[in-house]
Every structure is written in structure tokens, then in C-alpha cells.
A = this chain, B = another copy of it.
């Protein structure tokens, strides 16, 4: 029975899981959830994720939700397939730190900026310039710390590409297509890191999938 990902191609959280599956070359079935029709708040979806959010994931009888729990499950259970996505031994703790950094320092700010600059216009709503300015300033501070980190380490968690880097990709894909791109371009190590991880074939496959839907 093949793994299933329930989600929307526009969802950054669902993209996180799709990229991890592609990095590992794993077979899976993508089950679109019609969020505009409120499908994610209906009974049959709430049975998969009681919080009514995408993605939801099935591997046989195992049902999971929360994208970063799903990616870590995939990385651990399928550790011998495709890209490792984790570091073994002591750097495992440091990988954990930078996964938390993405979740608690980068993503809240990045999500607000994507919402204002990309999704609101898509839904015919007006961008709030004050919110954009406030969050650009916060993002700049986070990226200064990333610049220092990437001066000491090839990737965020350790010297190989891991979930700590991958988890940023969906938000980065959106932000690099917005004026916020300048914040990344202005910092040499960050800029090189972004270019490197966005060039990965697994991301290209997921974006191709998104363009077909």
C-alpha cells in the first residue's frame, strides 16, 4: 500500500513533505484537498488531522499530521533511501537546534510576509505595508544570524543538506519571487546557500507537480 499525502499544492506545509519524499525517491500518492470548498474542515479530513490543516499523511495504518513530524518520520524510517536528510552522531543535536530555528524564528516571519505579499493579492485582499515593513526588519535580523552560521557551517545543521535546510524551501520559493529577495541577496553566505538548496532536483519535481495542478 503506497504512502499518501493529503494536501494542496499551494500549501507550504504540504510542499515540505512532498520535497522530502522526492529527495528519497519514494513512491507516494498525492490526494488533493479542495481548501476553497472547505474540504479540510469536513468530517473525513478531520479524521486524518483533527486540527483541520494540510498536510495529512498515511503510511499503511499509520496516520500522521504536522509537516515537520511527517518529514522526520520519513527521514528516520527511510534513512537508507535517497538523500540522508539527517546527520549521524553528535551533530544530531545541532541539527535539532536548527530545525527548531526554522520553525520558531524563520517560519513565523516568513509566513507573514508570504501572506501579505503573495496570498492576499491572490485572494483579492490588500497588502498591509506596515506589517511587511515590520517583518522585513525581523527577517533581516534572522538572516544576519544565518549569515554568521553559514560562515561556520556549509549547511545550517552540519556540513550536509538536511531537514534543517529543506524545511525552509517552500517559504523560500515564495519569498525569492517577491521584493523580500533583496534581503537574501544582500548576504553572501545566505545567498549562496539559498541558490544551492533551491537548485536541488527534488524541489524542481515538486514545483513541476504544482504547475500541473
User: Which A residues form the contact surface with B (CB < 8 A)?
Assistant: 50-51, 62, 64-66, 68-69, 72-73, 76-77, 90, 92-94, 96-97, 99-101, 103-105, 145, 148-149
Contact = CB atoms under 8 A, between A and B. Distances in A.
**In the complex, which of the residues A66, A90, A103, A149 has the most CB atoms of chain B within 10 Å of its own CB atom?**
A66
Nearest to A97: B69
Given A62-B90, A93-B62, A93-B73, A100 B68 contact: yes
A101 B66 contact: yes
A94 B145 contact: no
Contacts of A145: 50-51
Given A96-B72, A96-B73, A104 B66 contact: yes
A64 B101 contact: no
Contacts of A96: 64, 66, 69, 72-73
Contacts of A99: 69
A100 B73 CA distance: 12
A65 B105 contact: no
**In the complex, which of the residues A50, A64, A73, A93 has the most CB atoms of chain B within 10 Å of its own CB atom?**
A93
A77 B64 CA distance: 26
B100 A69 contact: yes
**The 5 nearest A-B residue pairs measured at CB:** A66-B100, A69-B96, A73-B93, A69-B97, A50-B145
Contacts of A68: 100
A65 B100 CA distance: 9
A62 B92 CA distance: 11
A157 to B, nearest CB: 11
A67 to B, nearest CB: 8
A50 B93 contact: no
Contacts of A149: 50
A203 B28 CA distance: 43
